[in-house]
Amino acid sequence: RAKASGRNSLKFFDPTMQKEVKRRSELERKLREAISLQQLELYVQPQISSDQQYVGMEALLRWNDPVEGFISPADFIPIAESSGLIIPLGAWVLRKACQILADWSTIPGMENLTLSVNISPRQFRHLQFIDHIDSCLIELGVNPNHLELEITESLLIEDIDHTIERMNALRQRGLRFALDDFGTGYASLSYLKLLPLNKLKIDQSFVHDVLTDVNDEAIVSTIIALGQSLDLAVIAEGVETAEQAALLEKFGCHVYQGYYFGKPAPVDQWQKIISKVRLSHKNL
């Protein structure tokens, strides 16, 4: 340990910082290995409309390490982003998502679902990003209308012209765009009218206390009104109770994602549930 004073003391030595650096490089090494061994998995979480229809799913990466157990994407995505591993990982996610959509197109009750995929800024800016999407769509015969890309405000801070150009190119192919974690970033509201967006996702931090915190209530209702006046769909994430959903509905938000409606789970699991729901509807 560093001494606070004395000869040869390292005044800026910070044991927690060193631990963090070590943890990051260890995670990076393990992530690299997990990617090459194909040890990551895509879970999906449903998006449900107020009339109880499944309208889409969000694909969420899961890394189940044999020793550590599940490692959160909140921990490994930033490492993937800073190390560049997000390029092969993100490409894998997109291909996998297209495989899922290709499967769904043959399963009654699943054929109209959209699948939303989180795209990190470095992945979006990568030279081969659009080419890769094109080849996944073509090789797997996927309807581009069913693929939604979730981007965040961080993508809008730098090189906005390039971002808009790329978004337009993808929109021309039929893909959709949702602005994730909306309200938590630093992007100017004036970007909203420049971007070819389809949807705003209200960040879960605002939904969490919407019933008890008047500021969160004001933010949530304002985002919903903003979406309506800009002609954008609005979805609330992190909906955990019926009361939250009811208030959101009252404010004019009609699509929800959250533990109250279903947790992220392996694709097979949701496929079974949704085809069962459909069968029981048929038998009514």
Q: Per rule CB under 6 A, is residue 73 in the interface with ligand C2E?
A: yes
Contact 170, 130 (CB under 8 A): yes
The CB-of-61 to ligand C2E minimum distance in angstroms stands at 4
Instruction: Decide if residue 153 touches Mg ion (CB under 5 A).
Output: no
Residue 121 interface partner, choices Mg ion, ligand C2E, none, CB cut-off 5-8 Å depending on type: none
CA distances from 251 to 125, 210, 221, 223 (A): 36, 11, 6, 10
Q: Which does 156 bind (CB under 5 to 8 A by kind): Mg ion, ligand C2E, none?
A: none
Using the minimum distance from each CB to ligand C2E, give the nearer residue, 4 or 74. 74
Q: In which element (H, E) is residue 45 found?
A: strand 40-49
Residues 40-79 interacting with Mg ion (rule: CB under 5 A): none
Sign for the CA dihedral angle at 57, 178, 163, 174 comes to positive
Q: Which of 10, 74, 127, 189 binds ligand C2E (CB under 6 A)?
A: 74
Alpha carbons 237 and 201: distance in angstroms, whole number: 7
Radius of gyration of the chain (CA): 21
Lay out the site mask for ligand C2E across 196-215 (x = CB under 6 A, - = otherwise). Answer: --------x-----------
Q: Does 181 bind Mg ion (CB under 5 A)?
A: yes
Q: Which is nearer to ligand C2E, 175 or 282 (by Cβ)?
A: 175
Under the binding rule (CB under 6 A), the answer on residue 181 touching ligand C2E is yes
- The 10 Å CB-count burial string (b at 16+, else e) for 135-156 is ebbeebebebebbbbbbbbebb
The residue type found at 34 is A
Which of 117, 180, 235, 270 is in the footprint of Mg ion by CB under 5 A?
180
Residues binding Mg ion (CB under 5 A): 118, 150, 180-181, 237
